[in-house]
Amino acid sequence: MKIAMFNTRRYDREFFSAANAKHSSHELIYLEPHLDATTAALAAGIPAACIFVNDDANAEALRILAANGTKYLLHRCAGFNQTDLKAAAELGIRVARVPAYSPYSVAEHAVGLVLMLNRKLYKAYNRVRDDNFALDGLMGFDLHGRTVGVIGTGKIGMLFAQIMHGFGCQLLGYDAYPNLAFEAIGAARYVELPELFENCDIISLHCPLLPATERMIDTNAIAQMKQGVMLINTSRGKLIDTKAAIEGIKSGRIGYLGIDVYEQEDNLFFEDLSATVIQDDVFQLLQSYPNVVITAHQAFFTQDALSAIAETTLANANCFEQGQDCANELKYEEKVVTRAPA
Ligand code: NAD
């Protein structure tokens, strides 16, 4: 089957072509533009379209796809908030996603942010390249014996907790749906959020973005945290009220901030804007602080995750092409489920 692969980069082409050669025989048509209403016609006559987190499958884009013969929409990601599932259902477009790929990729990146901030590796690297071998300003703290808060103890949160346990940390967890395996890690227990905020040296967010979790880290939450807390977010940008975080950094309440996701990242991430004047003043302010490390939604970006994403996406395409049920199909009703859209 022909698949219009919107918004592809070199690495997408590499991993999708390899997976297709191994497991399928689809005709992959690689396109650079993002999907939206102005580009949807590029898929004219092509039965399937494949999109990523920063495409925009709104009702108008879907209408254009359907009018031009596209019947299937394949997400090469877990999240699906970029797609109007109601419109897709009305237009008879079947939609699938990749619900899980490598949770290790994200958990390990979160740990990377912890180490980078604590031991100031981002500064040390530049200093040594500059023949500056002084240690002033690079002091960190032992992770051993520190208390780490894990908010959301699902696939990624559990792995993050296990790695931090390996460092000898105490673990406090919070989850709307507690999971017995978390407390079995050892030195781990569930608490309510105020107790977690009050007692943790490091807090890492691993819950999904839902109405209940949007801006859960706000002025009030930050005020309850330990002075100098390290806050890590590899989950979704909107879990943190960025302006409140900036106030927290300025007051010293937040001693370190490591983020792989940002509230307004759709206007920035995945593009080379190095020759552009960034118009987002909040982002620029955040970048200016010495105790903030930002990566651009790269936590998932490992060979293993990209292979898994390509293989599952093409398996979803096989199911649709053969008119079979697809375990990863997204039905409109699923959007009202409150649990865990990753
Ligand atoms: P998961 O579904 O396995 O785990 C999410 C956990 O959050 C579950 O245990 C769930 O019960 C819990 N939860 C739900 N509502 C909650 C609430 N109100 N408060 C606290 N916890 C709540 O998902 P996962 O695979 O571990 O992914 C976690 C998050 O990581 C995703 O939601 C996604 O936003 C993010 N993610 C980021 C990247 C990246 O590249 N940065 C890649 C993949 C996933």
Query: In terms of Cα–Cα distance, which of 62, 70, 74, 18 is closest to 36?
Result: 62
pTM for the predicted model, two decimal places:
0.92
Q: Whose CA is nearest to atom 4 of ligand 1?
A: 154
pLDDT at site 188: 97
Contacts of 313 (CB under 8 A, 6+ apart): 16, 50, 74, 75, 76, 96, 98
Q: Among the atoms of ligand 1, which is closest to the Cα of residue 158?
A: 26
Does ligand 1 have an atom closer than 6 angstroms to the CB of 133? Answer: no
Catalytic status, residue 297 = yes
Neighbours of 131 (CB within 10 A): 6
Cα(155) to centroid of ligand 1, in Å?
A: 7
Cα(208) to centroid of ligand 1, in Å?
A: 4
Rounded CA-CA distance 268/69 in Å is: 32
Please say if the pLDDT value at position 289 is more than 60. yes
Class of domain 103-294: alpha beta
Tens of pLDDT, residue by residue over 236-255, are: 999 999 999 999 999 999 99
How far is residue 59 CA from its own chain's centroid? 24
Instruction: Provide the 8-state DSSP code for 339.
Output: S
Catalytic status, residue 34 = no
Cα(40) to centroid of ligand 1, in Å?
A: 30
**Residue ranges of the domains in the chain?**
2-101+302-339, 103-294
Choice among 236, 253, 263, 311 that is catalytic: 236
Residues 84-108 have a mean pLDDT of: 96
Catalytic status, residue 27 = no
Does ligand 1 have an atom closer than 6 angstroms to the CB of 98? Answer: no
Picking from 27-36, 78-87, 103-112, 248-257, which range would have the lowest pLDDT averaged per residue?
Answer: 78-87
Tens of pLDDT, residue by residue over 35-44, are: 999 999 999 9
**Are the beta carbons of 251 and 224 closer than 8 angstroms?**
no
Options 1.25.40.20, 3.40.50.720, 1.20.950.20, 3.90.550.10; which CATH number does 2-101+302-339 get?
3.40.50.720
Please say if the pLDDT value at position 135 is more than 90. yes
Q: Among the atoms of ligand 1, which is closest to the Cα of residue 207?
A: 7
pLDDT at site 333: 77
* 28 residue type, one letter: L
Token pair 């999907």 is found at: 35
